[in-house]
Amino acid sequence: MADTHRPGVLVTRPAGQAQALGDALRAAGFTPLYLPTLAIEAADPAAAVAALRAALPCELAIFISANAVQHALPVIAAAGGLPSGCPVAAVGPASARALAAAGFADALTPDARFDSEGLLALPELNQAAGRRVVIFRGQGGRTLLADTLAARGADVRSVVCYRRVAAGDPAQLKAWLETHAIAALTATSRASLDGLLTLAGPAAAQLKSLPLAVLSAALADHARQAGFNGPLLSAREASDAGLVTVVRALLGSPTHPR
């Protein structure tokens, strides 16, 4: 039986990246249920370094996630570094913090919407004509950012520095669904949400009816398109605290938080 005093919240982030969110959920009175639906691996390093060297010198470097920052740093070092004074942009606060920790201060970051649409709304990205822009990204995923910048006249080069691979335990998910242990779901990327549906298999319909907290408006749109028809909210702040706030809005405050 599920603990009604500490509702279970599914955490789908990759192993090694889920603990902070789980701790925040636990502190708010929820029970984190860890089920990584994907793993993050470095892409072909030689190909990434070659792609970056071919793109240099660049006039703007964009990092589409904290994973992109982590896996781009050795690629940048191997390629000899970015040009001095090259501005950098991050999709959200987590990516900006990772860049700052690596010595890239003052990253351009959206004020509100932390996704490709938010980046594209920045004045600096509206003035992209004639500029060479490098996008550090994962394999697959959305192409809106690159396509829009190219349409604005930028010379866009993509450097694929990581890839997502399937992970997770379908038997564990099945058991939690059968015992109604999951009160709400969280998802922080399209790939993690798609991986969750793959893990669910025949139980996907039950999964799609559960309350879902996501990290961005774009991810909320993706979830609806994927058939999620239960209560769905996106965080106003792309952070663990923002997700916890959304979970509270979906489920209410637990009766015995600690």
All residue ranges of the chain with pLDDT < 70 are: 1-4, 255-258
pLDDT value at residue 256: 55
Q: Which domain holds residue 224?
A: 8-37+170-251
| Cβ–Cβ < 8 Å for 14, 40 | yes
Judgement on whether residues 139 and 207 belong to the same structural domain of the protein:
no
Judgement on whether residues 118 and 20 belong to the same structural domain of the protein:
no
Judgement on whether residues 236 and 157 belong to the same structural domain of the protein:
no
pLDDT value at residue 3: 54
The residue out of 130, 164, 198 marking a domain boundary is 164
Domain count, the chain: 2
Judgement on whether residues 149 and 194 belong to the same structural domain of the protein:
no
Judgement on whether residues 33 and 46 belong to the same structural domain of the protein:
no
Q: How far apart are CA 79 and CA 85, in angstroms?
A: 16
Judgement on whether residues 181 and 233 belong to the same structural domain of the protein:
yes
Cβ burial, residue 57 (10 Å; 0-12/13-18/19+):
exposed
Judgement on whether residues 158 and 45 belong to the same structural domain of the protein:
yes
Q: What is the CATH number of the domain that holds 63?
A: 3.40.50.10090
Judgement on whether residues 45 and 99 belong to the same structural domain of the protein:
yes
The residue out of 133, 164, 195 marking a domain boundary is 164
| Cβ–Cβ < 8 Å for 234, 247 | no
Q: Is residue 68 part of a domain?
A: yes
Judgement on whether residues 159 and 237 belong to the same structural domain of the protein:
no
Judgement on whether residues 194 and 111 belong to the same structural domain of the protein:
no
pLDDT value at residue 1: 44
Percentage helix, strand, coil for the chain under 3-state DSSP, each rounded to 5: 40, 20, 40
Q: Is residue 159 part of a domain?
A: yes
Q: Is residue 177 part of a domain?
A: yes
pLDDT value at residue 4: 55
The residue out of 144, 164, 184 marking a domain boundary is 164
Q: How far apart are CA 75 and CA 81, in angstroms?
A: 9
Rounded to a whole number of angstroms, the CA Rg of the chain reads 19
Cα atoms found within 13 Å of the Cα of residue 28, Cβ hemisphere only = 24
pLDDT value at residue 163: 93
Cα atoms found within 13 Å of the Cα of residue 165, Cβ hemisphere only = 7
Torsion of CA 217, 218, 220, 226, to 10 degrees: 170
Q: Is residue 3 part of a domain?
A: no
Judgement on whether residues 45 and 160 belong to the same structural domain of the protein:
yes
Judgement on whether residues 177 and 131 belong to the same structural domain of the protein:
no
Q: Is residue 257 part of a domain?
A: no
